């Protein structure tokens, strides 16, 4: 399944695109790439170097968002433990919670909510929230989790 931040915007780069595309090397930090690939050892190594945990790429995406989009639960937890901003917003208004809701990932949704994720943010182009994104895709468990927090 091809995933995009929302139906109107550019797709999030995949692992394959990041590894083959030199154009991405300047816009993604080592922490972002490790989070995207699910490489916990590299995440830990990079974090010991004190890389900016909340650095953003040219579209405003963070390492936490990269970990969420590929359902790397343990990396999501690790990033949150060291201070990743759970409510950081990309330029399109998207958040890590909105990505988890779109994916239908109840476990990561729960983790983000328990770490203070707010449910009311909207994509700037569509006005969709985490709840509406999950509902549109039939992710009823995620909808229920989000509605309890609204």
H-state helical runs in the chain: 15-20, 30-37, 40-48, 63-69, 73-81, 96-103, 106-114, 130-136, 140-149
60 and 41 in one domain?
yes
Please indicate, yes or no, if residue 102 is contained in any of the structural domains. Answer: yes
**Do 76 and 117 sit in the same domain of this protein?**
no
Lowest mean pLDDT among 39-48, 63-72, 110-119: 39-48
What CATH number has the domain bearing residue 41?
1.25.40.20
Q: What is the pLDDT of residues 87-127, one digit of tens each?
A: 999 999 999 999 999 999 999 999 999 999 999 999 999 99
> For 27-37, how does the pLDDT look when each residue is reduced to its tens digit (9 = 90+)?
788 888 888 88
Phi-psi domain of 105 (left: phi exceeds 0; alpha: psi -120 through 50; beta: other): beta
Domain boundaries, position 34: 11-85
Domain count, the chain: 2
The count of C-alpha atoms lying within 13 angstroms of the C-alpha of 52, restricted to the half-sphere facing its C-beta, is 7
pTM: 0.76
**Domain final residue, candidates 85, 102, 133:** 85
Q: What is the pLDDT of residues 46-59, one digit of tens each?
A: 777 666 788 898 99
Question: What's residue 9's pLDDT?
Answer: 31
Residues 28 and 91 in one domain: no
């Amino acid at each position: 399944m091809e995933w995009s931040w929302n139906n109107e915007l550019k797709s999030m780069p995949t692992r394959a695109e990041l590894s083959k595309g030199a154009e991405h090397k300047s816009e993604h930090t080592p922490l972002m790439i490790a989070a995207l690939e699910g490489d916990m050892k590299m995440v830990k190594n990079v974090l010991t170097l004190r890389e900016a945990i909340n650095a953003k790429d040219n579209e405003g995406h963070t390492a936490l968002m990269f970990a969420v989009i590929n359902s790397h639960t343990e990396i999501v937890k690790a990033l949150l433990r060291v201070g990743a901003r759970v409510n950081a917003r990309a330029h399109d208004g998207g958040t890590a919670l909105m990505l988890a809701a779109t994916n239908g990932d109840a476990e990561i949704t729960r983790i983000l909510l328990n770490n203070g994720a707010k449910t009311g943010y909207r994509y700037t182009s569509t006005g969709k929230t985490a709840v509406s994104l999950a509902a549109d895709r039939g992710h009823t468990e995620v909808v229920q989790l989000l509605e309890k927090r609204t």
